[in-house]
Amino acid sequence: MTERLLEIENLCVAFPTRSGPVYGVKGVTMNVARQERLGVVGESGSGKSVTALAAMGLVQSPGRVVGGTVKWRGRSMFDKAEAADIRGRDVAMIFQDAMVSLNPLMTVERQIGEVLMKRRGYSKTHARRRAIELLEMVGIPFPAERLKQMPYEFSGGMRQRVMIAVALASEPELLIADEPTTALDVTIQAQILELIRELSDHLGVAVMMITHDLGVVAEFCDRVQVMYGGRVVERAPVEPLFAAPYHPYSAGLVASSPRVDVVRDRLTSIAGDPPAHADAVPGCPFNPRCPEANDRCRVEAPPLLELQDRRWAACWRRAEEYGLAERSHGLDETAEVAT
């Protein structure tokens, strides 16, 4: 079995509101292995971005981690000193909007170079050379001239490439990408995804791709975690997930994706709205919108269970079908066994 790089276990993150604190992420468990391309898919509010931030130990106030662990090769990301050491060296992150995620008043050279100089002790000249290399690697033409430019002088797609270059400067083993293509034009999206895939192959970097777009998942990922209502509701390798989704929500998502190869009159969608937070709905978070919900679903939230080899779902109906519907309490029991 390939090494695990990142291990998130039973993560719980809460946020304060006027009517009291609520969970944004509840009991999420997932792992990323070396060179793996993991997709984390869900709609807005599913908790996927918060999970990504927690993976870096970067949950922003007023939100706070209130339970669970996140470990990088066994080291806790909640230990401030460890986390600061791991970030920018072993794990790097890229964000959705490069316009605001890059310092608007700092040159590209500096933004790439500071990681090299501060974290890896490069000299200024060495850093400059390496920055040019990185810009070339991410496909920016005339890199030497563009070093001294500021982010606003680049187009959207180019800016995203710069952000990738900044992330790669750390020579990470894992790249966490939070909706890296969402803010871009469709054609550029494809280019950026292609770039990330090439880089991942070339440099052996694992990628944790956070997205709401199933197309991205299908294109890019090896394995998928589907999130809903602050929880992981399904976990599977990508092809089996698309071919035969277990959880009714994943089934809904797959069914509602427009397809070129099948003739359909209308697009299907999932009726209803996602919950505002992890405890907004009693029992299984998906039950109000689920065509298969039964009484148990409405009362008790199902745990994420491995129903078949490498196929996990948090659904009582599926669990019943596989004979695993006995009551289970506490943590996700089968977590230690497989990814």
Q: How far is the CB of 115 from another protein (least distance, A)?
A: 5
83 with 56: CB under 8 angstroms? yes
Q: Which of 14, 77, 217, 290 binds another protein (CB under 8 A)?
A: 14
Q: Does 219 bind another protein (CB under 8 A)?
A: no
Give the neighbor-by-neighbor strand order of the sheet with 223-228.
91-94, 174-178, 206-211, 37-41, 223-228, 231-237, 311-313, 305-308
174 with 6: CB under 8 angstroms? yes
Q: State the virtual CA torsion across 26, 174, 223, 28 in degrees, nearest 10.
A: -10
Q: Which of 22, 190, 218, 254 binds another protein (CB under 8 A)?
A: 22
Q: How far is the CB of 90 from another protein (least distance, A)?
A: 9
Q: Does 124 bind another protein (CB under 8 A)?
A: no
Q: How far is the CB of 118 from another protein (least distance, A)?
A: 6
Q: Which of 152, 239, 291, 292 binds another protein (CB under 8 A)?
A: 152
Give, in degrees to the nearest 5, the angle at Cα 213 between 210 and 214: 105
Q: How far is the CB of 142 from another protein (least distance, A)?
A: 20
Q: Closest Cα partner for 26 from 50, 59, 55?
A: 50
Kindly indicate which of the ranges 103-111, 123-131, 195-203, 210-218 contains the residues binding another protein, using the contact rule CB under 8 A.
103-111
- Backbone CA torsion sign across 71, 72, 77, 82: positive
174 with 204: CB under 8 angstroms? no
Nearer to another protein, 21 or 156 (CB): 21
Q: Which of residues 298-317 bind another protein (CB under 8 A)?
A: 301, 303
Question: What single-letter DSSP state applies at residue 334?
Answer: G
Q: Does 18 bind another protein (CB under 8 A)?
A: yes
Q: Which of 43, 133, 136, 279 binds another protein (CB under 8 A)?
A: 279
Q: Does 144 bind another protein (CB under 8 A)?
A: no
Q: Which of 75, 119, 212, 296 binds another protein (CB under 8 A)?
A: 119
Distances in Å between the alpha carbon of 74 and those of 3, 9, 31, 106?
Answer: 11, 12, 12, 35
Q: Which of 41, 50, 162, 166 binds another protein (CB under 8 A)?
A: 166
Q: Does 327 bind another protein (CB under 8 A)?
A: no
Q: Which of residues 40-79 bind another protein (CB under 8 A)?
A: 56, 58, 60-64, 66-67
Task: Name the pairing type of β-strands 4-15 and 64-72.
Answer: antiparallel
- Backbone CA torsion sign across 27, 45, 88, 142: positive
Kindly indicate which of the ranges 85-93, 133-141, 212-220, 289-297 contains the residues binding another protein, using the contact rule CB under 8 A.
85-93
* φ, ψ (nearest 5 deg) of residue 298: -75, -15
Q: Which of 74, 121, 323, 330 binds another protein (CB under 8 A)?
A: 330
Q: How far is the CB of 263 from another protein (least distance, A)?
A: 37
Kindly indicate which of the ranges 95-103, 128-136, 247-255, 286-294 contains the residues binding another protein, using the contact rule CB under 8 A.
95-103
13 with 65: CB under 8 angstroms? yes
Query: Alpha-carbon distance 230 to 101, whole Å?
Result: 25
Positions in the binding site for another protein (CB under 8 A): 12, 14-23, 27, 56, 58, 60-64, 66-67, 84-89, 92-93, 95, 97, 100-106, 114-115, 118-119, 150, 152-153, 163, 166, 170, 279, 301, 303, 328-332
